[in-house]
Amino acid sequence: MKFKKTHDIDQISISLEGKQVVIGGWVEDLRKLGKMSFLTVRDVTGLAQIIVKDIALPEDLTRQTVIMVQGVVQGTKARDFAYEIKAEAIDILTKAVHPLPIDPIGRLESNIDNRLNSRALDLRNQRVAAIFKIRSTVLASLRKTFLEKRFIEITTPKIIGSASEGGANLFSLEYFGKKAYLAQSPQLYKEQMTIGLERVFEIASFYRAEKSHTGRHLSEFTSIDLEAAFMDYTDVIQILEDLVVQVFKDVIANCQTELAILERKLEVPKTPFDRITYSQIISELSQKGIDLKFGDDLMDSHLKLVGESHPGLFFLLDWPMSLKPFYIHPRDDDPKISRSFDLQYGYLELSSGGRRLHDPSTLKARIAEQGLDPASFEDHLRAFDWGMPPHSGWGMGLDRLMTVIIGTDNVREVVLYPRDPERLSP
Ligand code: AMO
């Protein structure tokens, strides 16, 4: 690099007229008009017009080549720009080799597979970059709210020795001669952490070996997890509602440019979100001619119908115990009903959670009842003899939340390098 970059493009304005600046970026467009050339150069913050007049334009300057431009800020007649930079020197840093696998400006549409195969280049498309800038704002917003509510951020292991939730959806791997698994959730660890830290959260990747080919399932997804001592499921439901509303507010406040690029009009969801019980849903479905008994799971086709009558955000509460994992607590007034919930966006499940069993003997009985091997929960169960407080929590898929914010039905759009049964690279 011959020059030292002085400004991001959005830090330059006509108030710097006559001043020398150095920018670094990628050639987006290139037009020659007689002895003059116009370049547009983009960095992560914006697009600048460069006028090349008194110096020679480097030969073979291809689109997407990385350059640094030293020049002087001046006024412009161009409609789309508030200033231009008259180039004094151009330093070519790395040439982009053509033909490029996709059109990074998005003038020519590429299918999602080609785009994902060239993801780094895909990010030069402003619509795609906007999605990941919004994702960063969402993460910052979540952390801010968790910390304000006095939660402590934790990091739990992703390589584990036995299944955390039971079930068969685990990736296994060889671990120094032993069998290990990739964690499908931080469930057991986050529960244990309520002993020492009381209120915890984690935002991390987890792994599900499900052969699902849908717009909402990935083999590796980002989970936002919360667990809190001395709270019931209604308390953590309220925290989840506050958190989601704050995310919308922060995205609206901080991502106007990105939302405009995406042509996305986002509104703060109305509160309180509806709280609808499983039994209510069963009777709604029966009015639509679907006859389900208490204890039947809601299949995709049922959830689609539910989503038609409840298109926005709502909590689906009080699922039958028989449909819930071993750690979920029953209601005192009816032990067949659990203190559990899902957060739905129409038919899409964004989060699930509930009050947990904290009494070791009840928990052991539930593990056996569900046909799980108590031996594989030995380490976990020991902690329940050390003063386990009553606690509740939930897990929410960040990627699914992002699809709601962006307005897409494919989770692959909001994950940089999605992993699914067909996709392991790049
Ligand atoms: P659950 O299995 O329902 O609950 O997962 C919680 C949330 O994580 C997201 N999610 C996924 N997102 C993308 N691809 C997947 N394959 C995938 N699987 C799950 C969903 C889902 O609602 N331990 C409990 C949570 C708890 O009770 O605290 C759990 O993992 O948005």
Q: Quick check: 7 and 20 in contact, CB under 8 A? A: no
Find the 223 Cα to ligand 1 centroid distance in Å. Answer: 7
- Does 270 score more than 80 pLDDT? yes
**pLDDT band, very low/low/confident/very high, at 402 (cuts 50, 70, 90):** very high
Decide: 227 in ligand 1 pocket, CB within 6 A.
no
Query: Which of 332, 367, 326, 150 lies closest to 232 in space, CA to CA?
Result: 332
| pTM given for the model | 0.97
- Does 33 score more than 70 pLDDT? yes
Q: Which domains does the chain have, with CATH numbers?
A: 9-94 (2.40.50.140), 121-414 (3.30.930.10)
- Does 215 score more than 90 pLDDT? yes
Residue range 5-25: average pLDDT? Answer: 98
Find the 407 Cα to ligand 1 centroid distance in Å. Answer: 20
Residue 166: the pLDDT is 67
H or E element in which residue 87 lies? strand 84-94
In ligand 1, which atom is closest to the CA atom of 342?
Answer: 22
Decide: 210 in ligand 1 pocket, CB within 6 A.
yes
216 annotated to a ligand binding site: yes
Residue range 318-342, pLDDT digits in tens: 999 999 999 999 999 999 999 999 9
In ligand 1, which atom is closest to the CA atom of 218?
Answer: 14
In ligand 1, which atom is closest to the CA atom of 400?
Answer: 31
Residue range 355-377, pLDDT digits in tens: 999 999 999 999 999 999 888 89
Q: What is the mean pLDDT of the chain?
A: 96
Beta strands in 44-107 (DSSP E): 46-52, 66-74, 84-94
Q: Quick check: 156 and 189 in contact, CB under 8 A? A: yes
Decide: 400 in ligand 1 pocket, CB within 6 A.
yes
Both tokens assigned to 274 = 């509806």
Residue range 55-102, pLDDT digits in tens: 999 888 999 999 999 999 999 999 999 999 999 999 999 999 999 999
Q: Quick check: 298 and 279 in contact, CB under 8 A? A: no
Q: Quick check: 281 and 306 in contact, CB under 8 A? A: yes
7 annotated to a ligand binding site: no
Decide: 266 in ligand 1 pocket, CB within 6 A.
no
Residue 125: the pLDDT is 96
Q: Which residue has the tokens 């593990």?
A: 367
In ligand 1, which atom is closest to the CA atom of 411?
Answer: 13
Classify the C-alpha dihedral 313-349-290-322 as positive or negative: negative
Q: Quick check: 53 and 36 in contact, CB under 8 A? A: yes
Both tokens assigned to 97 = 């080799």
Report which protein residue has its CA nearest ligand 1's atom 24.
395
399 annotated to a ligand binding site: yes
398 annotated to a ligand binding site: yes
**pLDDT band, very low/low/confident/very high, at 163 (cuts 50, 70, 90):** confident
- Does 167 score more than 80 pLDDT? no
In ligand 1, which atom is closest to the CA atom of 356?
Answer: 27
Distance of alpha carbon 218 from alpha carbon 424, whole angstroms: 11
- Does 164 score more than 70 pLDDT? no
Find the 208 Cα to ligand 1 centroid distance in Å. Answer: 9
334 annotated to a ligand binding site: no
Residue range 393-416: average pLDDT? Answer: 98
Both tokens assigned to 14 = 């006509």
Distance of alpha carbon 85 from alpha carbon 37, whole angstroms: 12
Residue 162: the pLDDT is 83
Decide: 217 in ligand 1 pocket, CB within 6 A.
yes
Report which protein residue has its CA nearest ligand 1's atom 29.
395
| Local structure of residue 338 (DSSP, 8 states) | B
Residue range 42-52, pLDDT digits in tens: 999 999 999 99
Decide: 320 in ligand 1 pocket, CB within 6 A.
no
397 annotated to a ligand binding site: yes
